[in-house]
Chains A and B, each alone.
Chain A
C-alpha cells in the first residue's frame, strides 16, 4: 500500500519536474510583459521535434542534440517575440493574447505540415543506452532502480528529475546573481522605471523568451524519451503547465517550480483514483488556491490590472 503510494509519489515528482520546466517559461514571460504566452506549449512541442530530427535525421548524439534543441528553441522564442509580440507592446493586452493564440495555431499546424500528425518516438538505438530501460536479451530488467514494493524507477526518470533540479538551480542563479537576471527582475517590477535606469527592456524581454524557450525545449526532449511526439502534445502539457504557473503564483519562478511539482503529484495520485480525471485534480487545486489566495502560493499582491 505505502510502497504503491511511494511509487506514485516518485512518478509525480518526475512529471512535476517536466511541468516545472514548462511552467517557468509561462511565468517568466508573464512576469515581465503580463502576457499569457499561449505559444509556449508549442515551443515545447518544437523542442521535442527538434531533438527528434537532430537525432534521427542528422545523427547527432543525444548529449549534443539536447543543447542544440535548446538553442534552436531559444531562437524560435526570440523570433516569435521579435516578429509578433514586440509591435504590440503598447496595444491592448487582449490583442497580444490573441496574437499568442494565432502563433500557437500556426506553429501547431506548421509542425503538422513538416512532420505529419503521426505520433513519433525517439529511436531507442540512437539514445544513450542507460535511457533504454526494459528487458535485455537475457530477460533481465536493466537500467532501473528497484523501488520497495516491487516497482521500478527507470534511470531515464532519475535523469529527468536531476536535470530539472539542476536547471532550476541554474535558473535561480541566473535570475538572482547575474546582470541580466537583475535586469529581468527590474523590468518585472516596473518596466518604465527600468527603462529610465538605462535598461533596454526589449533586450531583456528577448532574453526572457530565450531562457523560457530553452527550458521548454529541455522538457520537450525529456518527454520525448518516454512518450510519443505529436503536434498536439504542446496543447495538453501546456495547459497543465499553465495551471502550474498559476497555482504557484504567476510571475514567480519559485512558484512555478512548486506549482509544477504539485500539479505533477496531483496528476499521479489522481490517476490512481480515476485516470480520466488525472488533470482535473490539478484544476480543482488551482481553482481553490485562487479562490482562497488569489495571488497563488508565491505571488505577490499587485495593484489591480484590468
Chain B
C-alpha cells in the first residue's frame, strides 16, 4: 500500500469510512425483519462496531510497539506501561480535573513520551533478553503504582477510574459518545500514526533503525549515533502508546488497573510477531486478527454452549498453530 491515490486505495478509503453506516443499516433491516422472521442470533451493529474499534485500537498499539520491536529489533515486554500512562493521564485529567480532551490527549502523549525517554536512558546499553526483562519490570512497577496509589484515582481502590467524560466539540455541548463516533475517532488517530510511522520508516531515521537492528556495532562505525536513534525510537513508540491510552480512557468510560496487566503487553507483542516483525501492514493485520479473534470466537461459539468456555483455549491453540506454520509471521519481508 504505497501512499498513492490509486482507484483501489480510494475505494478502500470509502469502504472504511462508510462502514458504520453500512453496519447500522444492516442492523435496522434485520431488526425490521425480526418482527416477521426468526432471529438468527446475529450480533448487533453496535457490538460489531465496538469490536472493530477495539481492533483498530490494537492496530495503533501494535504499530507503536513495532517501532521498538520491529524497526530497532529490541524486544519490549512492557509496552503496556505507556498505554497505562496515557490512559491514566488522560483519564485523571478528564474525569477528576475536568480538562478538555483536546488538552488531555497531548498531555497524555507528552507524559508517555517523557517516561519512554526516562526508561530509555539506563537501558541504552542493554541488548536482547536483558532489555526485555527491564522493560517488563518497568511495566509491572507502573501497574503496581496505579493499583496501590488510591489517591491518584480519587480514593477508589484497584486503580479504578469511573466516569471519564466523552470529548466534546469546544464551545458546544455536542459530545462524541456513540460507537460510530469512536470509530471515526480511532480511524483518524490510526491514520495519523500510520502516516507518521510510514514516513519515518522510509526516511533516514528508519534506515538508521534498521541498521541498528541488523548490527549495532556496524551501525555505530558507519557514523550512526546509536543512542540518539534508539532514544528516538523509544520516544515515538511511547508516544503512540500514550495516544492509545488516551483513546481508551474516553472509549471505555471507566477502567481499572486490570486493563494494563502484563498479558496485555504480551498480547500486543503477539500481534506484532504474528503479522511479521518490522512491517507496519503486518502489525495491523496481526492486530486485526488477534484483536477481534477473542470476540469472534465468543460469537461463533455462543451457539454451542458446551464448548463456549473453551474460547481462550482455542485462542491459545490458534496462536501455537500460526507460529508452527508461519514462524516468521504472516507478512514477513526478507531484508
Contact = CB atoms under 8 A, between A and B. Distances in A.
Same complex: yes
Interface string B264-287: 001001100110010000000000
Of B129, B144, B263, B312, most buried by chain A (CB within 10 Å of CB) is B129
Contacts of B148: 274, 276-277
Given A105-B319, A277-B144, A286-B137, A113 B129 contact: no
B320 interface: yes
B133 A286 contact: yes
A113 B310 contact: yes
B129 A36 contact: yes
Given A92-B327, A280-B140, A291-B122, A98 B130 contact: no
Contact of A306 (B128, B133, B137): B128
B128 A305 contact: yes
Contacts of A276: 144, 147-148
Contacts of A291: 122-123, 126, 134
Interface size class of A (residues with CB under 8 A): 35 or more
A101 B319 contact: yes
Contact of A99 (B269, B312, B315, B323): B323
Contacts of B324: 84, 87-88, 99
Nearest to A34: B129
Contacts of B310: 109, 113
B319 A290 contact: no
B55 interface: no
Given A109-B310, A113-B313, A95 B141 contact: no
Interface in B153-177: none
A84 B320 contact: yes
For the complex, would chain B's binding face be called helix, strand, loop or mixed by DSSP majority?
helix
For the complex, would chain A's binding face be called helix, strand, loop or mixed by DSSP majority?
helix
Given A102-B320, A105-B312, A109-B310, A290 B126 contact: yes
Given A94-B273, A106-B313, A113-B313, A287 B328 contact: no
A107 to B, nearest CB: 8
B75 interface: yes
Nearest to B147: A276
A4 B122 CA distance: 37
A253 interface: no
A92 to B, nearest CB: 6
Contacts of B123: 291
Interface in B178-207: none
B54 to A, nearest CB: 18
Contact of B273 (A98, A243, A306): A98
A277 B327 CA distance: 38
Given A101-B270, A277-B144, A304 B137 contact: no
Nearest to A111: B313
A106 B129 contact: no
Interface string B304-322: 0000011111011111100
B115 interface: no
Interface of B: 73, 75, 122-123, 125-130, 132-134, 137-138, 140-141, 144, 147-148, 216, 262-263, 266, 269-270, 273-274, 277, 309-313, 315-320, 323-324, 327-329
Interface of A: 34, 36, 38, 84, 87-88, 91-92, 94-99, 101-110, 112-113, 235, 239, 243, 246, 250, 274, 276-277, 279-280, 283-284, 286-287, 290-291, 294-295, 304-306
20 contacts: A38-B266, A88-B327, A94-B273, A95-B327, A98-B269, A98-B319, A101-B266, A102-B270, A106-B317, A108-B316, A109-B316, A110-B313, A246-B133, A276-B144, A283-B137, A283-B141, A284-B141, A287-B137, A290-B134, A306-B127
Given A87-B324, A92-B277, A287-B141, 11 more contacts: A88-B324, A91-B327, A92-B327, A98-B273, A98-B274, A102-B317, A109-B311, A113-B313, A243-B137, A276-B148, A283-B141
